[in-house]
Amino acid sequence: MSAARQAVEYAAEQLGFSALGVASADLDQGDALPRWLNDGCHADMQWLERHLPMRQNPALLLPGVRSVIMLTYEYPRRDVRCSPGSIARYAQGEDYHKLLAPKLADLDETLQFYGGSQKCFSDSGPVSERFFAAAAGLGWIGRNGLLVRPRGGSFCFLSCILTTLLLPTDRPMRNHCGSCHRCEQACPTHALVNGRCDARRCLAYWTIESKQLSAPIEIQKAMSGHLYGCDVCQEACPWNHLPSPHAVDPHLLMPARLAAMPETELADLPEDEWACLLANSPMRRTGSAHLRRNIHTFSDPTPS
């Protein structure tokens, strides 16, 4: 193993990343993503179309890129909300973008010592992170479209480092979903079909990304109880029922006030209190008006 890879693996472990794998940057990604876009499964998230060339060719992001380093960072598995209005596990604590950015900067500095030029992302750039994570042997893409790991399941963030260094690569892992379809069967809106997620039916899309003032009535009914995001497909996955061998960063745990606050109290919060409550949360991107819409939808999921 190269000295550069040994150094970055050691540094990543010290920084709290749970696993690291490497894939070649020039892998053929196939036509799965273009077909998904052509079928309209991205709803109105037009940036996915605009960024398609870069997603399929990392050299457009970093000229001379040779290796893609993929890392996992754990987030909580358990929902600690004591009141109705579930919040996706990944968004329950501090903003992971801000948490992981300085850690990736440290790894970038490590690789610079060995002569590499890097670009780093954690759900913050047009990189096919799940594709490269699977190619780097960190897990496989499950029927819910997420990276699933035999030790750890799917409750993790993915981070990516594009580097001009040529590093030893890892072998992809065999898909272990087998004949299991529990995620597809559990999805409340039937958004998962043949291993693809149709955002037009996905509750995560409707509660986070959609800017529409209202959703179709069948979606509204399914939104009942979902304040921000949806983890139903992850909760149904048997690989998430096994004990996790990894620790969770305390910064990613939900604040006690948010865990205990009823949805009616959340809906009536003044703007300054919303700003304070969401100051360090990834939910601040969506904004209080959008969250209030979600609260009113699941409190009274009937058309006006």
Of the residues 136, 163, 190, which one is the last residue of a structural domain? 163
Residue 175 within a domain: no
Query: Quick check: is 170 catalytic?
Result: no
Q: Which of 163, 192, 218 finishes a domain? A: 163
What is the spatial distance between Cα 5 and Cα 3, in angstroms, rounded to a whole number? 5
Give the structural domain span for 188. Answer: 182-299
Decide if 265 is inside a domain.
yes
Q: Is the pTM of this model over 0.85?
A: yes
**Both 109 and 227 in a single domain?**
no
Q: Which two tokens stand for residue 152?
A: 């750890």
Same domain? 118 vs 70: yes
Q: Shortest CA distance to 239 belongs to which of 152, 166, 112, 178? A: 152
Higher-confidence position of 243 and 237: 237
Helix (H, G, I), strand (E, B) or coil at 161: strand
In this structure, the answer to whether residues 137 and 47 fall within a common structural domain is yes
Selecting among 79, 123, 170, 249, the annotated active-site residue is 123
* 133-141: average pLDDT: 98
Given pLDDT bands bounded at 50, 70 and 90, which one contains residue 303?
very low
Q: Are residues 198 and 284 in the same domain?
A: yes
177-220 per-position pLDDT tens digit: 999 999 999 999 999 998 899 999 999 999 999 988 778 889 98
Indicate if the pLDDT at residue 237 is higher than 60.
yes
Full DSSP string of 108-157: HHHHHHTT--EEEESSSSS--HHHHHHHTTS-EE-TTSSEEBTTTBT-EE
Do 227 and 89 meet the contact criterion of CB atoms below 8 Å apart? no
